[in-house]
């Protein structure tokens, strides 16, 4: 039996997303990338579902891809905040991608959310 599903909610309806990263760095500098996701009322982050956050950089970024550890991701009912350090060892413009997967609920239903954001970092000598 096919049960009709309600339409999926858009990310803009459920939360706001901010990425806090520098736009420039020197070769070898440690760079901290922060991804902050805040839910909009009446939504909240589902605490009993897994939360995963990945950050990926170009092949010249160390580490290239990382699934953030629990101590790098803070989760509460209202937000998901992820922080990851990176180091770039070659000058140029480097692209990064962050992806977060979690679930939100609004009292009537719960749904998975996937958020992707990208940014660039200019690295100089």
pLDDT score for 10? 58
Task: Report pLDDT digits (tens) over 16-54.
Answer: 999 888 889 999 888 888 999 999 999 999 988 889 998
- Give which of 37, 13, 42 is closest to 116, Cα–Cα: 37
Q: What is the mean pLDDT of residues 56-64?
A: 68
Q: What domains are defined for the chain? A: 12-124 (2.60.40.10)
Answer yes or no: are the C-beta atoms of 121 and 23 closer than 8 Å.
Answer: yes
Give the contacts of 61 (CB within 8 A, at least 6 positions apart): 86, 87, 88, 94, 96
Answer yes or no: are the C-beta atoms of 15 and 40 closer than 8 Å.
Answer: yes
């Amino acid at each position: 039996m096919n049960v009709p599903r309600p339409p999926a909610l858009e990310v803009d309806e459920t939360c706001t997303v901010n990425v806090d990263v520098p736009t420039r760095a020197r070769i070898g500098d440690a760079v901290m990338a922060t991804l902050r996701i805040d839910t909009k009322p009446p939504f909240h982050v589902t605490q009993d579902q897994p939360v995963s956050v990945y950050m990926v950089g170009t092949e010249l970024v160390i580490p290239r891809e990382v699934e953030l550890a629990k101590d790098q991701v803070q989760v509460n009912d209202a937000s998901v905040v992820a922080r990851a350090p990176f180091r770039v060892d070659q000058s140029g413009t480097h692209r990064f991608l962050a992806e977060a997967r979690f679930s939100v609920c609004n009292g009537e239903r719960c749904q998975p959310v996937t958020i992707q954001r990208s940014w660039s970092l200019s690295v100089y000598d």
